[in-house]
Structure 1
Amino acid sequence: MTVNTENIANYAETFIKVLIDYSPKLISAFLILFVGLYVIRVINRLIRRIMVKRELDPTLTKFLADILLWVLRVLLFVTFISKLGIETSSFVAILGAMGLAVGLSLQGSLSNFAGGMLIILFKPFKVGDTIEAMGMTGTVSEIQIFVTKLINANNQTIFIPNGSLSNGTIINYSLQGYRRADLTLSISYDTDIKKAKDIITTVLNKNPKVLKTPEAEVCVKLLTDNSIQLAVRPWANNADFGAVFSETLESCKLAFDAAGIVIQPFVKEASAKNK
């Protein structure tokens, strides 16, 4: 096999010529790329600092900064390939087709993305609020673009998709700043109702964590076959709610014992099968 050195020399000469002719575009394109990445990083940090100084919501700050970052990166990439001499029109068409395919395959993720935007814009809750949603109760630790993180009372982390969260019912326990505890105490029909209510009222008045306004309520809730049910409804700040709930039950039990009032246990009637 003979090697045509003349053809090899011609190919090498052509390659070097093309490389020399194309090198200015190549150098300028990579220069734009590296400088652009640095400028984007500086702009992103500057925007974050401005939003922090204006005391915008941390979740909104992170979300807007991330969106701006990726928009600038896409624009830089289009500029980079354009500088290399690649037709951007065909490239944009390819990106559009890829975007459509990805969008169809990630419909659930896009729904969560849209839900995250709705939560950030309309703010039904914020980081630090205690909410109940999708059958879960916990404190919001982070609102991400696709999911919201809750920490429940057992210190477990719960991830709820934003799409389902934004379309469901949300109970925000922190929004008003205080809550009402709904307790029920059952006493026998032999008990003096007024005396029992006075004892409960005294217990509530002695507890500094129970709010004076709104005023706590003590009333007859229901008359059952075996007991009188008293509704006890004290109000407390969110931070004191759990303590007020448990302390009211304990203090009422101790006060009833001291006054000789017996709390009537729940009695389940025997079914016909057990007779």
Structure 2
Amino acid sequence: MDLQQWIDKGVELSLEFGPKLLAAIIIWIIGSIIIKQISKALKKLMLSRNYDVSLQKFLLNLINWILKIVLIIVVLGTLGVETTSFAAIIAAAGLAIGLALQGSLGNFAGGVLIMLFKPFKIGDLIEAQGEMGVVKEIQIFTTKITGLSNREVIIPNGALSNGNIINYTTEGTRRVDLIFGVGYDSDIKQTKDVLMKVLTSNPKVLKEPAPTVNVIELADSSVNFAVRPWCKAEDYWAVYFETTENTKEALDAAGIDIPYPHTVEIQKKG
């Protein structure tokens, strides 16, 4: 093949593929610009709605890759490449990955839901999946909480988002529920006054809502009082322990009997 034939072949190929190549380049440039604009708009939207930073990065990267894959398929189609089988391969690979990572994808979806709807935030005291603690970190797949005994608990987000969550911090206050029993010979009014004084003298007990003391049960060997002080969420255990200790001291000082179980032994003669 001489030089002229090479030139003719090159011109023929240029005329055949040149417009397609030019169109593909133009589509790639315009598509890339559109993807950047979409990413900027989505980032602005997420910032305005206070999405978690880690969620923002993950979603933006995911959407960016999806749009780029779509753009590549469009460009290949413009060049005349058969993209039907290519799309089928991607779909099959996505299905296989989805089945292999079913549990992980459930945790990922749970993490996205938690970050979007925010049933709790870092620093909140929550109870979920049989565990109670302060939220330390919210990740895409798991949430870390610090338990009451300072142990780290890692809960999968799939189970966390699908189960019951008790957030003790949201309302800002908590009620401490305590029950104290006194003997049947004790004066009810005096006992209520003593218990109420224990509550009102504790600076951690809130004045509003007001604490309450009421007879809750006439038990077998005691008259039981429901003691209900309110406090800030972070003061819950301090109020719980202080009220228990101060109540014992106050009842002893007032001469009010605190009954305890007795064992009666009966012996038969002969």
Q: Could you state the TM-score of these two structures normalised by the residue count of structure 1?
A: 0.73
1:201-229 deviation digits (Å, cap 9, x = unpaired): 11111111111111111011111111111
Alignment equivalent of 2:166, drawn from 171, 191, 195:
171
Deviation at 1:166, TM superposition (A): 1.8
Asked if the contact 1:221–1:231 (Cα under 8 Å) also holds between the matched residues in 2, the reply is yes
Distance 1:135 1:262 in 2: 37
Residue 213 (structure 1) aligned with residue 208 (structure 2):
yes
Quick one: structure 1 residues 215 and 57, their matched pair in 2 at CA, closer, same or farther if it must change by over 3 Å?
farther
Aligned residue type for 1:219: N
Distance 1:66 1:77 in 2: 17
Q: Could you state the TM-score of these two structures normalised by the residue count of structure 2?
A: 0.74
Deviation at 1:76, TM superposition (A): 3.9
Give identity over the alignment, percent.
Answer: 48
Give the match for residue 140 of structure 1.
Answer: 135
Alignment equivalent of 1:201, drawn from 172, 196, 202:
196
Give the match for residue 255 of structure 1.
Answer: 250
Give the match for residue 71 of structure 1.
Answer: 63
Asked if the contact 2:176–2:228 (Cα under 8 Å) also holds between the matched residues in 1, the reply is yes
**SS of the counterpart of 1:179?**
strand
Deviation at 1:234, TM superposition (A): 0.1
1:96-128 deviation digits (Å, cap 9, x = unpaired): 101111112222222222222322233222222
Asked if the contact 2:217–2:223 (Cα under 8 Å) also holds between the matched residues in 1, the reply is yes
Residue 222 (structure 1) aligned with residue 217 (structure 2):
yes
Give the match for residue 175 of structure 2.
Answer: 180
Alignment equivalent of 1:241, drawn from 236, 242, 245:
236
Q: Runs of 5+ in structure 2 lacking a partner?
A: 1-20, 265-270
Give the match for residue 117 of structure 2.
Answer: 122
1:148-190 deviation digits (Å, cap 9, x = unpaired): 2111112222121222222211111111110000011111111
Quick one: structure 1 residues 213 and 50, their matched pair in 2 at CA, closer, same or farther if it must change by over 3 Å?
same
Asked if the contact 1:47–1:65 (Cα under 8 Å) also holds between the matched residues in 2, the reply is no
Asked if the contact 2:39–2:64 (Cα under 8 Å) also holds between the matched residues in 1, the reply is no
Q: Runs of 5+ in structure 1 lacking a partner?
A: 1-24, 271-275
Distance 1:129 1:137 in 2: 11
1:26-57 deviation digits (Å, cap 9, x = unpaired): xxx9xx9xxx8xxx99x9899769856x4714
Deviation at 1:144, TM superposition (A): 1.9
Deviation at 1:81, TM superposition (A): 8.4
